[in-house]
Structure 1
Amino acid sequence: MSSPSLRILEKDLGVNKTTLHNWKKTRPKLYAFIIESYKRKEFLDKNLELMINQKDFLQKEINSIKDNL
């Protein structure tokens, strides 16, 4: 899990690169929180994708068992 690019942060937060660099210097806890939030979001997205794949697999398995009965 990598940290988001400055362009993504600019777009999502509605600030420019200068503001982001200033936050990194003057408000390191805020900047770290933002970066950590993006990492968690990425992790949750991957988990959700895996759960959807697992649900689809189980649904196919249930349907094949129903067809065999």
Structure 2
Amino acid sequence: MTGINLQIAAGSMTVLIGASGSGKTTLIHLIARFFDASVGAPLVGGVDVRDMFSEQLAGQISQIFQDSYLF
């Protein structure tokens, strides 16, 4: 992924749509800090996600994947 600049307003709902392999899941994983970016950094509320505790970050974002399972 290169040249990504995305701003999402607080309280808004955003849907990522794209072809298979276009980077949707990678982008979500970077924002949620499932892994760290090798270059650049996602910011949530102007704060680098690497400087946030996981509980703090989890309180700021939600994710719903296409294939969800309830049990």
Name the TM-score, length of structure 2 as normaliser: 0.25
Which structure: greater helix fraction?
Answer: 1
The higher radius of gyration belongs to: 1
Name the TM-score, length of structure 1 as normaliser: 0.25
Which structure: greater strand fraction?
Answer: 2
